[in-house]
Amino acid sequence: MTLALRVPEELSARVPAEQRGPGLDRDAVRLLVSRGTEVAHHTFAELPRLLRAGDLLVVNTSATLAAAVDGWVGHARVVVHFSTRGDDGRWAVELREPDGRGTTRARAGGPAGSEVCLPAGVRLVLEEPLGGRSERLWWARVDGPGIPGLLREHGRPIRYAYTERDQPLSVYQTVFALPSADGAGSAEMPSAARPFTARLVAELVSRGVQFAPVTLHTGVASAEAHEPPYPERFAVPEASARLIGAAKAGGGRVLAVGTTAVRAVESAVDADGAVRARAGWTELVVTPERGVRVVDGLLTGLHEPEASHLLMLEAVAGRAAVERGYRAALQGRYLWHEFGDLHLVLP
């Protein structure tokens, strides 16, 4: 799906909400609410009053990694974005060039056999493009100490040019994030959950809204190349599968917090339409043709008009609703990207 919209540069959220003024918290963002083609404007702090007892929010517990590390290819400086760890110990990585302003720009990938020198004696050897669909991400063999330790000691959060400055890793962790025992996590923050605070979660629970945790470790964003999502590791626990089933049976709405939560839940649906406990890799791409089988609504950030995420929104809400919502967001001067405003799509 491509929308004929241009997002002005000034609508990029350059800093987190809590840094925009005294007394602000993460929930000090705006919330566009779509019900079909009708839209309404709210603040995120109003979310508890927009939901109802029996609703279930599916949240991603993946922690964000400090996934950007400086390195060298020969005499050339590069920044390595660590995306996904494979079952064979290799990592899917993207090599980018420093842009002189503290962020990076795209760089041609490969070729096979290229060596990347990193801190702590770690060396990467690029072996093959990921999936063979483009040469932006490559599978790399790791020589030297483990990558989780390298990221803890020498990594920083992935940052793009529309943001103002580097931020500590804590800024990129959601209230739902749980560190994995094996050091796995997301290359980029599951950002739809960022505006939630402990206070807001408590208020939702007090009003009868439930939470079902799932995990999907997301790789680097693909908006630049307009690529479909790559395979990602996910897990839907037994307890969450039961909560989803109970909510559906009781007439509650299953609302996914972020496109990652949609991908995880929809990857765990059996032929009979029930969600089962499941873990592994998902290659599912949710499109209007495939549709959604479990999710009734979606809380998500605002994505670039050509991002593959919009196909998922169209699958949940329909094309007319997505187009109306995005035009309203532009007219209302909503802020885009991971520190920006939110869009709640309700049935």
The string of pLDDT tens digits covering residues 102-113 is 788 888 878 999
Q: Are 27 and 196 in contact (CB under 8 A)?
A: yes
- In the chain, count H helices and then E strands: 7, 16
pLDDT greater than 60 at residue 225? no
Burial (Cβ within 10 Å: 0-12, 13-18, ≥19) of residue 184: middle
Tokens linked to 307: 């991002």
Q: Average pLDDT over the chain, rounded to whole?
A: 93
> What's the farthest any 2 CA atoms get from each other in the chain?
62
**Mean pLDDT on 159-185:** 93
Q: Express as a percent the part of the chain with pLDDT over 70.
A: 95
Q: What is the pLDDT of residues 70-100, one digit of tens each?
A: 999 999 999 999 999 999 999 999 999 998 8
Q: Are 29 and 335 in contact (CB under 8 A)?
A: yes
**Mean pLDDT on 312-324:** 91
R_g of the chain computed on alpha carbons: 20
Q: How far apart are CA 133 and CA 247, in angstroms?
A: 39
**Mean pLDDT on 233-242:** 98
Please tell me which residue, 307 or 302, carries the higher pLDDT value. Answer: 302
Burial (Cβ within 10 Å: 0-12, 13-18, ≥19) of residue 212: buried
* pLDDT at residue 2, as a whole number: 58
